Structure 1
Amino acid sequence: MKKITIFFPAYRKVPSGGYKILYQYANLLARDGYEVSLVHALGMPNDPKQNTSVNRIKLMIKKSLNWLRVYAPNTVSWFPLDDRIKVINLREVIEKNFPEGDILIATAWQTAELIKDFSVNKGEKIYFVQGMENWEIDDARLIDTWKSNMEKIVVSKWLQKQLLDQNVASQVVPNFINSNEFYVSNPIKERKLVISMLYHKVPWKGSDIGLQVINKLMDDYPEIEILVFGVAARPNELREEITYFENPSVDDLREKIYNKSMIYLMTSRSEGWGLTATEAMACGAALVTTDSGGVSDFAINNETALVAAIDDVTDLVNKAEALIDDPALRYKLIDNGLAVVKKFNIEYSYKKFEHVIAGLNRNELS
């Protein structure tokens, strides 16, 4: 039985799309007899966000809380992990505190940087690349992590091209939709004029642009209903008429947001994939998105989505209004979108992921 360690750069108390993908893989690996450990860092030693006195104080507080087992319990409250999976939260992120094993998976640039020189008894190294993480570090440092001596998995063909441009080979294991969680439950042609959007504070999610777009749409269509969701408390900049869902459950995402939506709006500046877009598409919403990278694996302009330029409020508004005013176009995109996201199912992606883990013939994954 192979021992697998998946290393995360932080402990998340609220849902994270990238974490959820890997937690689901962990459950399937445990189901199939692998011994799985999830290691969460409680403050990375090479994280530039710790280089200010304020953030160092915040980290010290978090570490202190962990001594009381309040900050990071050995479980994940927002995701149902298999009972056989071991959760390890490290205050001191050094090699000796990692379990010995056969495979060690880095999940972000910080984790790849830290484990690249670990000894072989911690496992053969794999770098699971989920996005262009140059929002915190410069391109040269990021590319150095790609060029480290690890097997590379990327979640989209677009990411594979970014690595290939740096002469780095990788295997594509596409992200997926769990069809037990996200599906059409509300008839598409009976939906009212509802647009939904994720709000996130990080700049690469482009929520500042998204708010400008929905404000213009609300002015142009007074009858419109806007649904916004996120893990944080309601943002102050939201107009009073907007309904906001704080940290919604999967059921609420499906029933109260995606299945009520006529259109889903994604205004990111960078996406390795774009999970919420595919979730909304699986629930029958038409997608308007920026050309933000990984979305190109499923968002084909005028076929499965309308794709706008990054940071172009006018282009995004025009495309959303085109879908509002043209039901035939909207239904075409919805039907094609439903068909394309069905291809991204959990067992297909897991099979490719597990093939890399198992060290099977790499040619099988092309």
Structure 2
Amino acid sequence: MKILWFTWKDVKNPLSGGAEAVNEELAKRLIKDGHQVIFLVAGFPGGLSEEKINGYTIIRLGNRWTVYWKAYKYYKKNLIGWADLVIDEVNTIPFFTKYYIKEKNILFVHQLCREIWFYEMIFPVNIIGYILEPLYLWLLSDRKVITVSESTKNDLIKFGFKNNNISIISEGITTEPVKNLELVEKFSQPTVLSLGSIRSMKRTIDVVKAFEIASQTISDLQLIMAGDANSTYGKKVVRFIGKSKFKKDIHYLGKIDINKKVELMQKAHLLVVASVKEGWGLTVTEANSQGTPAVVYNVEGLRDSVRNNETGIICQKNNPSHLANDIINLLKDTKKYKMLREKSWQWSKKINFEKSYRDFSMIIKNI
């Protein structure tokens, strides 16, 4: 099968995240199974206009905002009739391929934007995007859709998509689960971990505030943060840490490699996530695989990747005070902590890209 995949970022884009990691793993397996895959994506400074990665082709066109028009023009000039299947990935904005392609097509949606518009976009783009999103979702609501969580499926249904047109594939992680929890050594001091790019929608300042509150009860509590802080919000977080009276116990490491990430996920006691919403929350499952449960806000995606009081804790209210209380209570309740740690580790073993690809492959074969 020849697959043409429209999405605005590829795995090498500096802004790539969990969605691009999923695309990469699915594409690699498609190639291994004898399929051909071409991605049409946005360019970025230093990125090649065309390259092959793991057997699939990436063609980079325009930038974050012009890629939609450039991809349309490139398709019309070079790729009409090439594909057996076209995937239109909705990552904030769709490519509206249904209006100009004749080939079979399907949408791929990790999460809807909704309130993220107000965290990641400036005025008036945020208002315009928030108003237009329901409209363009309605225009696409006759399409079949692949998504990664019940939360996103429910969101799509709210905007007119039919339940039987929405298929959910398993998420997956590339991090190999530890073999034996008993052999995982934790930091000597209780440590909470915040991982990933420090952006407004991640609400990292809420994590720092929760840590400050929890530190008043657990005096030796430590916070380790790792991720790119080059955004305006990231710099704001770094300044906020610098002014904290607990700054000696907050350790910002910047961007880290995968080996350091795995080490931190093993040694930390808790992962803390306060995002506005997620498609799933891959870092949660990754941390679980290394023997670390998570405390998270009650939002789309995170309520899928965490089973409350079974594999982690979902806050009753999304604010630093409740987040802090959940951190304190779990770290003090060693019996419950051990149970969550064990169950989250066991569950993480079932969330892998082999299953994700089986789900994905079955869906696209039956379109």
Task: Tell me if both proteins adopt one fold, taking TM over 0.5 as the criterion.
Answer: yes
Alignment partners' CA distance in 1, 2:131 and 2:330 = 37
Aligned to 1:89: 60
Aligned to 2:322, what secondary structure does the other structure show? helix
Instruction: Give, in angstroms, the shift of residue 153 of structure 1.
Output: 0.7
Q: Distance in 1 between matches of 2:366 and 2:137?
A: 21
SS across alignment from 1:93: helix
TM-aligned CA distance change 1:151 to 1:260, over 3 Å: same
* Distance in 1, Cα, partners of 2:100 & 2:260: 42
Aligned to 1:236: 239
Deviation readout 1:134-178 (Å, 9 max, x if unpaired) = 223226524633651432011101211222233413101121122
Amino acid at match of 1:39: L
Deviation, 1:208, is: 2.0
**Matches of 1:160 and 1:97 in 2, distance apart?**
31
Shift of 1:244: 2.2
Residue aligning to 2:259: 251
Equivalent of residue 145 in structure 1, options 134, 137, 140? 137
Gaps of 5+ in 2: 63-68, 118-128, 242-246
Q: How does 1:77-226 map onto structure 2 within 5 Å?
A: 81-82=53-54, 84-91=55-62, 93-98=70-75, 99=79, 100-109=82-91, 112-120=94-102, 123-134=103-114, 135-136=116-117, 137-138=129-130, 141-142=133-134, 144-145=136-137, 147-148=139-140, 149-169=142-162, 170-180=166-176, 182-183=177-178, 187-188=183-184, 190-192=186-188, 193-198=190-195, 200-226=197-223
User: What is the match of residue 290 of structure 1?
Assistant: 297
Q: Note the C-alpha offset of 1:243.
A: 2.1
Where 2:280 maps in the other structure, the secondary structure is coil
Task: Give the share of equivalent positions with the same residue, in percent.
Answer: 20
Shift of 1:313: 1.3
Distance 1:265 1:184, change over 3 A: farther
Distance 2:135 2:199 in 1: 22
Contact kept? 2:309, 2:340, Cα under 8 Å: yes
**Residues 284 and 73 of structure 1, relative CA distance in 2, 3 Å threshold:** farther
Question: How far did residue 342 of structure 1 move?
Answer: 1.9
Counterpart contact for 2:277–2:302, Cα < 8 Å: no
Aligned pairs, number: 325
Residue 41, structure 1, aligned to residue 42, structure 2:
yes
Aligned positions of 1:3-14 closer than 5 A: 3-10=2-9, 12-13=13-14
Go from structure 1 to structure 2 and tell me whether the alpha carbon gap of 1:86 and 1:270 turns closer, same or farther (over 3 Å shift). Answer: same
Alignment deviations for residues 233-292 of structure 1 (CA, whole Å, 9 cap, x no partner):
57333335422232322222111x101111110111212211111111111112111111
| Structure 2: distance between partners of 1:209 and 1:93 | 39
Once the two structures are superposed, residues 289-324 of structure 1 have per-residue CA deviations (whole angstroms, 9 ceiling, x without a partner) of 111112222312211111104532111111100111
What is the distance in 2 between the residues matched to 1:215 and 1:261?
A: 17
Give the equivalent residue in structure 1 for 2:340.
333
Deviations 1:219-245 (A, max 9, x none): 433322221111335733333542223
Q: 1:309 to 1:184 in 2, by over 3 A?
A: farther
SS in 2 for 1:232: coil
**What residue in structure 1 maps to residue 360 of structure 2?**
353
Alignment partner of 2:239: what SS?
Answer: coil
Q: Distance in 2 between matches of 1:101 and 1:111?
A: 22
Quick one: distance in 2 between partners of 1:302 and 1:106?
37
TM-score normalised by length of structure 2: 0.80
What SS does structure 1 have at the residue aligned with 2:70?
A: coil
- Give the Cα–Cα distance (whole angstroms) in 2 for the partners of residues 166 and 292 of structure 1: 18
Secondary structure (helix, strand or coil) at the match of 1:237 reads helix
The answer to whether the Cα contact below 8 Å between 1:200 and 1:207 also exists between their aligned partners in 2 is: no
Please report how far the alpha carbon of residue 330 of structure 1 lies from its aligned counterpart in structure 2 after TM superposition: 0.4
CA contact (8 A) 1:213 1:317 kept: yes
For 2:23 and 2:249, how far apart are their aligned partners in 1?
36
Structure 1 range deviating more: 323-332 or 217-226: 217-226
Deviation at 1:184, TM superposition (A): 5.9
2:16, 2:157 → 1: CA distance? 31
Q: TM-score, normalised by structure 1?
A: 0.81
